[in-house]
């Protein structure tokens, strides 16, 4: 399962970029109570972008975003792709 993400706007560190815990996608399903320990273990990386950047990343990576300190447009076109049914009882809730 992967995400393809096309950035339509710049996303500097001041405009609430995606924050990820590198390597957390290799840990399987993470219980909410375990999130702080996983973040401490994996660290945090801010994923800045410029308009036109394309990302491809593993969907289950632990991710979040903080409030922007200098808000602006942060539009993206995102496609989630899974070649098979979702694992572990997960299911799509979108359209």
The model's pTM is 0.76
Of 69 and 57, which is predicted with more confidence?
Answer: 69
Is the distance from CB of 65 to CB of 18 less than 8 angstroms? yes
pLDDT at 89: 78
Query: How many beta carbons lie within 10 A of that of residue 59, not counting itself?
Result: 14
Residue 72: pLDDT over 60: yes
Please, what is the average pLDDT of the chain? 88
- Distances from the Cα of 81 to the Cαs of 42, 77, 84, 87, in angstroms? 25, 13, 9, 13
Assess contact for 4 and 56: CB atoms under 8 A: yes
Higher pLDDT, 19 or 84: 19
CA 85/CA 93 separation, integer angstroms: 13
- What torsion do the CA atoms of 23, 28, 29, 32 make, to the nearest 10 degrees? -40
**Coil, helix or strand at residue 6:** strand
Per-residue confidence (pLDDT) for residue 40, from 0 to 100: 96
- Lowest mean pLDDT: which of 32-41, 42-51, 75-84? 75-84
What pLDDT, in 10s, does the model give residues 17-31? 989 999 998 998 899
């Amino acid at each position: 399962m992967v995400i393809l993400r096309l950035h339509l706007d710049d996303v500097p560190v001041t405009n609430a970029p995606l924050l990820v815990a590198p390597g957390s996608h290799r840990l399987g399903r993470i219980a909410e109570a375990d999130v702080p320990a996983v973040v401490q273990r994996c660290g945090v990386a801010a994923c800045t972008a410029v308009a036109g950047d394309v990302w491809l990343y593993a969907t289950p990576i632990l991710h979040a975003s903080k409030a922007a300190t200098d808000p602006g447009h942060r539009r993206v076109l995102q496609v989630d792709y899974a070649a098979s049914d979702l694992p572990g009882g997960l299911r799509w809730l979108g359209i």
